[in-house]
Structure 1
Amino acid sequence: MGAAAAWGLVWASVLVGLCTAGDPVVYFDWDVSYITAAPLGVKQQVIAINGKFPGPIVNVTTNYNLVVNVQNDLDEPVLITWDGIQHRKNSWQDGVLGTNCPIPSGWNWTYQFQVKDQIGSFFYFPSINFQRAAGGYGGIIVNNRDVIAVPFGNPDGDITIFIGDWYNRNHTDLRKALDDGKDLGMPDGVLMNGKGPYRYNTTLVPDGIDYETINAQPGKTYRIRVHNVGVSTSLNFRIQNHNMLLVETEGSYTVQQNYTNLDIHSGQSYSFLVTMDQNASSDYYIVASARFVNESLWQRVTGVAILHYSNSKGKASGPLPDPPNDFYDKTFSMNQARSIRWNVSAGAARPNPQGSFKYGSINVTQVYVLKNKPPVVINGKRRTTLNGISYAPPTTPIRLADQFDEKGVYTLDFPTRPLDGQPRIASSVINGT
């Protein structure tokens, strides 16, 4: 047994001892490696977990303890982060440079964390080296405990759909372009569950592309969880001729309302109830198309999957369902987002309603006004900024610096207002108490 594996077992033993008594423990062994795939018809290097792209779905229940042993078989360091999982009092397991040292190539690390008082739809992905552009992502489902009522009926099935922009260049080439101060340009397409578009248009979609098919039974209602796992492109998601009843987003139940389409921005997750109530005269398109771009130039940046009823009478054909017609109404997407409301009368991970916490009685002692800007070139590299600061992770992770009382690793001077003048790079942290 190698040193890395031995340390992994030691850490697993220690960490399991930290689990809350009585709460179940589930174990996962993941091998992160490259595979060769051609989702858009061009062979390239893709990051897989246990040989699969996308990676496996983590399906657990509130308060479960997760032990995830990650073996890094890439040729560079990796970190896995758990988007939306709160890691209460346990940020050591968050899988970002601020809290963890990267897992070196050929080594392993065992993550251990509890999905304490959480429910809903989340996803994981590699958080460093622009690896998310190469895959390595997968879904996280946190179910309610049996004693907590769910504010809708039991669906007949549960379906996860990953949507995201995709480049035919390897992530290392994309990373170099950014490091050289260049723009990535228009993506080569949009993937749905790691696959390219159905050939709805013989000019835009080449022959031989493998596409995703979602099989369904007529009259049944399915919970469909949609995650935008792309690196930068906002996407409009819609299912031809079907209403989508929004019920939850990233761990919070929502006031239930129907949408014919919804803008889903990079990193966001939503879940809908969709009833198969059409006549199945043919299959139906599932579409994710780019937003806030010149649509005539970005036509190829469209993901298309197929919804197939068991009694379908033929293949989908004809034009795709239209995206939002907001050429003269640039407030459409913002108003759509504002229409989503928290269901404060429903229980979630605990019996109390989600909105029962007395936030209004908390004294506000510090106010921050935040302003982010599009990427700018700083020291020859394209960097995004918040309040004029582009964050640079320190060599020593912040939590380790705190643990060992290392001084000068970061500064507690993040500005409360946007800075005037030229943006700068800093390891600047909010000083909260």
Structure 2
Amino acid sequence: MAVLDKRTSQEIINLENKYGAHNYHPLPVVLSKGDGVYVWDVEGKKYYDFLSAYSAVNQGHCHPKIVGAMTKQAETLTLTSRAFFNDQLGPYEEYLTSYFGFDKVLPMNTGAEAVETALKICRKWAYEVKGIPENQALIIVADGNFHGRTTTIISFSNDTNARKNFGPYTDGFISIPYDNIEALEEVLKNNSNVAGFLVEPIQGEAGVYTPANDYMMKVKNLCNQHNVLFMADEIQTGIARTGSLLAVCGDCNCQNACERQETYARPDMLILGKAISGGVYPVSAVLADDAIMNVIKPGQHGSTFGGNPVAAAVAIAALDVVNDENLAQNARKLGKMFREKMQDFISTSTIATLVRGKGLLNAVVINDTEDSDTAWNICMRLRDNGLLAKPTHGNIIRFAPPLVMNEEQLLDCTRIIIDTLKEFEK
């Protein structure tokens, strides 16, 4: 450990390049410590974190309540597998279903696992409840989606980098344009074997593509009309990130999901991950009511680590923090402030053309082509100026700080971002 402590950032980067698979292209900064909205590199330089581990660290780095829950449980019982009951899972399942307003939850570990779980449940429901002939169920997805990188998921992705040379691909999916309710209606009218529609309320990886305000409600209504399951992937958008507990909550001011809110497009299946654990442990979940979830029987789906005691304790603490610290309300207020400040700059800028988003999930579109390195170079300069962000789709920079950020910190960050962008004005 003493040897590791003396290694420079470049030496550690060299180790990853030599011994690790090259499946990521990280910004060249080596982080060794995090606290709240800040991270530090191995040389001790301090940065604002404006990625939040792709919105997994909504509650801030190393939140003491969440870390405390993990540490306490890890010292008592870590894993039993689902071959036995454990004293944490049942209370967690009761807590989670009450928190989000569903009958049942199927616990998993990662976001991609949760998406795969939802797809399996949807298909089984289609055959056993809806009556679609076996192996003929179709699931609708949206162009530009990002639900993970498993073989099934990349089968319906338009990301050629994620797809190429990983085939053969899985059949059974129909892709339609995102934020196009007419396209969804057309497919539903002409395909009686549609089982479900899998969609992100905001497409984060696509560049924080935010649909029309009424899109989710129209999706919900169409799915109801055609007896099709509406599956909301809230892995990145959920847990207060967009200014509501869930992005499908629309503009409601409630802290918990509430069916009485007219803006709440309640999904038939809710897919959660990332910030459900506050970023300290892999936790994901699929929630649904009994009429859907009861199609799963013993031995038909599971995971050795899914529903383990540490995950249960961590997730309860992480969701408690969201309530106790009013993180949805804070994200809503600071997100509005961020977009207003950025829009003021963009109105006269030649380097940035658009800011979009909701809550504290936002993106700035850079005035260059997708194959340019301008956005990457801006992120490198942001790093030099003490703020960490990452490009997506070439010319888009995503800005998503921990939701524990305060107004003073946000204003300091907008200053850093604007000053940095000015260095690239054409």
Larger proportion of strand: 1
Larger proportion of helix: 2
Greater length-normalized contact order (CA 8 Å, ≥ 6 residues apart): 2
Whichever of the two has the greater Rg, that structure is 1
Per the normalisation by structure 2, the TM-score is 0.29
Per the normalisation by structure 1, the TM-score is 0.29
